[in-house]
Structure 1
Amino acid sequence: GIPLLCFEHAAAAGADAIAVDSGGAIYVANSRAGIIHLFFPEGDPLRALRIAPQRNSEGPFLFSIDADGRIYVPDPAGGRVQVFNSRGLLLKIWRILPDTAEKDAHPFAAVAGDDGAVYVGDAAGGRILKFTRDGVQSAAFQPPDSGDVSRLLGLAVAARHVFALRGFPLRLEVWSEDGHREITDTLGDRLSAVESAAYIAADAAGDLIVLDPEARRVLRFRTHLDLP
């Protein structure tokens, strides 16, 4: 829990999302203002890129960078995902289709996986959508017992698994890359009192780091994905 780096910048004042690329560069997003600030690993500013502003959007906002430097940014209000190159040039726009009930998509997360896929979280339908990096949808993950799908709050990808946080009350789902739900867990009910979004990240070993914003704490969980 000891910080390895601390720096101050005006971009942090309204920031609501952060990501790191494979080279250690730091990306800080202000989704309401529609801007992502890019910093060198040491904290020095490099550049900024414009994204679709989310002035009326609430809840989590999760973007990511793949190994080639492409940046995947959700546009919840527009029902789409924007794809930028490492210089901030818009390359593609992926339209996210409505769900089977014709409910308009509200993509809040676009997470690049090590398998070459990008996983998009749809807050409106509770769906996890799997895309190729060319923008072709190849799968959709939904709980097999879903009649009333709980709200999708967070999404992370690591160790050949997809981690989804749903609520309320909060629970964790662990999916294989081909769409099989392997684990459902309440995380020991440690987050049961959280009424706002909790944020998750996963490392290469599959361990989870969970931000509990109401308690102002960070929890780390070992997933033991190798156990039968």
Structure 2
Amino acid sequence: MINKIAHSVAEALTGIEDGATVLIGGFGTAGIPNELIDGLIAQGARDLTVVNNNAGNAEVGLAALLKAGRVRKIICSFPRQADSQVFDGLYRAGKLELELVPQGNLAERIRAAGAGIGAFFCPTGFGTELAGDRETREINGKQYVLEYPIHGDVALIKAEAGDRWGNLVYRKAARNFGPVMAMAARRTIATVHDIVELGALDPEAIVTPGIFVNRVVQIDRVATQAGGFKRAA
């Protein structure tokens, strides 16, 4: 019987090794799997490469992981924000490596990994420092830069509901990078607020099929959000 439900965050995170590449879903503070990030801090893996849309907010979630000294490199699109003081301090001190990737390129590089695409050409970044020394090519009179997929050892994502087979549905903007990250990682761990019986999820509404998910762990729906707001059940 297939049952991907973990009894705790700690159980779900078992086996993440030092040096792993960790894809972490979320866009700003929407869809960030904070419980899994806190669990990763407690789990102890270090020297990580983290892929996320930004580099953390304030001193919670991803920023807390950076502050704990567990991350060697971060790949993201928006490292600096008004409350990105943890990233700023580590980067300026030379304690954190940054690979800056335009947001569309970031999403497509992750999607390419899940789709089995070896590389692709994209016009974004041509003629800038972001292109580095990568191959360029003129296609139909336009210049393109060669981009490579971003594969993950593990993806940590947040969904709204799931079943024991690992099928997932999301809540609005919290969906963001979750589906492509689940496809691009060798192992995917998802938090959900609701675990439902098989067949309860409308097949047309399932965004991430269970084939891409290894572990599902249920978390409390009512959690304190930024600014003290609590979302009711």
The TM-score bracket by the shorter chain reads under 0.3
Larger relative helix fraction? 2
Larger radius of gyration: 2
Q: TM-score, normalised by structure 2?
A: 0.26
Q: Which has the higher contact order (CA 8 A, sep 6+)?
A: 2
User: Comparing both structures, which one devotes a greater share of its residues to strand?
Assistant: 1
